[in-house]
Amino acid sequence: MQLYALTRETPSRGATSPEDFNPTTNVAPICNEDAGRRHSESDWQTGFAGRCHRMARVLVCGEIPNAHLPPRPTVSKNRTRVAKVNTVVVPVADQNRAISFYVETLGLEKRADEAFGGKYRWVEVAPEGAETTIAICPPVPGDETGNKQTGISLQVDNIDAYHAELKEAGVDIDDGVSRSGAPVPPLFWFRDPEGNVLMVVEAA
């Protein structure tokens, strides 16, 4: 845990432990005695932070409230053998029609087209250079196809130009690009020939 100096106008009483702080509204991420220093837990253990912040106007050392800090990315600490998201599967009833749409209309490239299981066909498409692919495959026996939320988000550099291209090609697409403001990127949704929903976002 990073510890920072917090100040206010009232006289100092000194702080002797990380628990001995009362967060204030005036944040000074520096130390009067050691300019620019950010206190660590070891400083508390050695007594440095408590001695340092008995100086005038410095009340305590404590963790800065989230409102005063830039956003921190949420990183899972769980250990896993998973290396990446490899393939997203979209079950379709008509593979030939789906291949034509994803390759010729959306502009993806076909990565794989192999027979399997005696009577089935495994097809993968992806943007050029992308690692994660979209598998356009027959459904599990008994499952229905079409009108599914795929959860797929395609990224483009110019979302307005891509929206215009898909609209001109006759794709079932949202009327316009949604712009909600940061952190949500400009985006729109569209449907493939079987009604499966995909999203397009613009690169930051």
Residues 157 and 185 in one domain: yes
Looking at the fold, whether 195 and 122 belong to one and the same domain comes out as yes
Say what percent of the chain tops pLDDT 90: 56
User: 58 and 97: one domain?
Assistant: no
The pairing of beta strand 149-156 with beta strand 197-202: parallel
Query: Strand 187-191 vs strand 197-202: parallel, antiparallel, or unpaired?
Result: antiparallel
Considering the domain architecture, whether residues 27 and 109 belong to the same structural domain is answered as no
pLDDT score, position 73: 67
Mean pLDDT of 118-123: 92
Domain boundary among 12, 33, 68: 68
The span from the CA of 199 to the CA of 20, in Å, is 49
Total domain count for the chain?
2
Quick one: tokens of 161?
Answer: 């130009």
Is residue 74 situated within a structural domain?
Answer: no
Say whether both 102 and 198 belong to one domain: yes
Q: Which residues pair with 6 in a beta bridge?
A: 27, 60
Q: Which of 27-41, 129-143, 156-170 has the lowest mean pLDDT?
A: 27-41
Rounded distance, CA 184 to CA 70, Å?
Answer: 17
pLDDT digits (tens, 9 = 90+) for 126-162: 999 999 999 999 999 999 999 999 999 999 999 999 9
DSSP letters of 90-129?
EE-S-HHHHHIIIIIIT--EEEEEEEETTTEEEEEEE-TT
Q: Within a domain: residue 170?
A: yes
CA-CA-CA-CA torsion sign (68, 72, 78, 79)? negative
The predicted pLDDT at position 87 comes to 97
Given 19, 38, 68, the domain boundary residue is 68
Same structural domain, 97 and 59: no
- The answer on pLDDT for 56 being more than 70 is no
**What CATH number is given to the structural domain containing 165?**
3.10.180.10
**Residues 100, 63 share a domain:** no
Residue ranges of alpha helices (H) inside the chain are: 41-46, 48-52, 95-99, 159-168
Quick one: 24 and 53 in the same domain?
yes
Domain that holds residue 64: 4-68
Lowest mean pLDDT among 6-20, 75-89, 151-165: 6-20
Give the separation between CA 104 and CA 4, rounded to whole angstroms.
56
Residues in the chain, how many? 204
**Mean pLDDT calculated for residue range 100-110:** 97
Closest CA to 37 of 24, 46, 26, 48: 48
pTM of the predicted model over 0.75: no
96 part of a folded domain: yes
Let me know if residue 82 belongs to a domain. no
- Give the 3-state secondary structure of residue 187: strand
